[in-house]
Amino acid sequence: MADEFARHIVDSLFELGDIETARFFGGTGLKLGGVQFAMIMRGVLYFVVDDALRERFRCMGSEPFSYATKQGQRALQRYYSVPDELLDTPDALYAAASAAFAHARATSRGTRK
């Protein structure tokens, strides 16, 4: 893992378990048990969000991950940037990461029952 920010996030979330990192479309994907629940793109941490976490993040000023296409910007509502105040509060970051992982696991195509 070359990115110091990614290393810091993985270290901060050690209580979640053994988080794996991998290159992911020019960024870093964070996985737990084979399920991607977060990504770091251009130095920004994004979590997979359900409706409640999305609204909480939006109220804190977060935005969805977006990228440019030939047709213009495209926003992915599944991934929202983690608010700075959570990055500065380990317990809040852990709680949000736990919620992100739970939702990612529940909605992952590879883990549905």
- Where do the structural domains in the chain lie, given as residue ranges? 4-107
DSSP the chain: ---HHHHHHHHHTGGG---EEEEETTEEEEEETTEEEEEEETTEEEEE--HHHHHHHHHTT--EEEEEETTEEEEEEEEEEPPHHHHT-HHHHHHHHHHHHHHHHHH-TTT--
Identify the pLDDT of residue 3. 83
100: Cα separation from own chain's centroid: 7
Q: Mean pLDDT score of the chain, rounded to an integer? A: 92
Question: 45 pLDDT exceeds 70?
Answer: yes
Query: For domain 4-107, is the CATH number 3.30.1460.30?
Result: yes
Give this prediction's pTM.
Answer: 0.90
